Amino acid sequence: MDSTRSGGFDGSENLIKAAADYANIPEFLAESTCLVLATIGLDGKLLKANVGADYVFFADFSDDTCVSNAFVNPTFAELTRLAELPAMESDGAVVFEGLINVGNPALMVHSLNGRILRLQNSLLVIAEHDVHQLINLNQKVVDLNNELANAHRKMAKLNREITAEKKRTEQLLITDQLTQAPNRFALNRRMDEEISNFERHRKPMAFALLDIDKFKSVNDEFGHDVGDEALVYLADWLKGRLRETDFFARWGGEEFVIVFANTSVDEAQLVLDRIREALASEIFEPIGRPLTFSAGILEFEYDMTLDEVFKQADKALYSSKEHGRNRITRVAKSK
């Protein structure tokens, strides 16, 4: 430690004299946070302090506040040892000049540039914040803000990716991977919604169960790849010809389900018949002949369970198969 080094702090004689008589300190200095101005007894008690000194010493000012531990470099013990030297006996003697580190090491240490003078039985601290430290601190704040902004951007991007992945996963859960039609899980979810709507509004709803005629023969004669093509072909055919309000799903195997919301069974059968007739008039190239389907259709009635709906539709579908295929059988309404 060099107590004689000259620093960038140019304390004027008038300021020193004013500081010695604290009552004469101009108000702007007393309220300044840039300037640290304090009188400290040789026992370490803070006698007088302006706002800037009060801040760096982490002390709510009182006449008996001990701040000796706030001196990091030089330490207060080093300062009092220098102050006791014979050369420092006169008022205004410069005990230390240069960089002064003060504060609470566990929280924050301030780097000050200034002088510490001997005044009778006390030390007068006149210092200003080290500009270089403030510039470095400001740059660190800027860097931290940039890092925080980058972190926020990365987090936002990650959240978007997670949201997109969640949507993809949810879509996989409700989509048949072969035909890309809604699957059984999606159908069960949709039926819960439609049954709830039916119970609230009592608007008609029809339900159809259909499957490809002689699908086993297609697999046996042309192979399972062609069978898969037939399933995709029928799914695309239904998707392109059903109304926006209709919902269809692959139930399993060669079976598909269609839910006709807000539709009577008469209207639903007309829609399905048009689709069936159009399909039967087109050649499915992989097998060189038309692909046809048979179906059972019914109108949903109050208090019917989903299991009952499927059982009745399946019986009607079986009847269509028994009576020549490529036809639709309607379930009679209960009385």
| Annotation marks residue 322 as catalytic | no
Rounded-to-integer distance, Cα 237 and Cα 122, Å: 98
Rounded-to-integer distance, Cα 39 and Cα 123, Å: 6
Under 8 Å between Cβ of 71 and 56: no
List the alpha helices (DSSP H) in 49-130.
Answer: 51-56, 76-83
Choosing from 97, 194, 229, 254, which is the catalytic residue?
254
Burial state string for 73-89 with b = 16 or more CB within 10 A and e = fewer than 16:
ebebeebbebbeeeebe
Burial of 181 (0-12, 13-18, 19+ CB in 10 A): buried
In 3D space, the residue among 210, 329, 207 whose CA is nearest the CA of residue 268 turns out to be 207
Rounded-to-integer distance, Cα 267 and Cα 263, Å: 6
**Phi/psi at 39 (5° precision):** -110, 125
Place of tokens 């709510």: 60
Residue type, 199: E
∠268-270-273 over CA atoms, to 5°? 110
| Residues acting as catalytic residues | 254
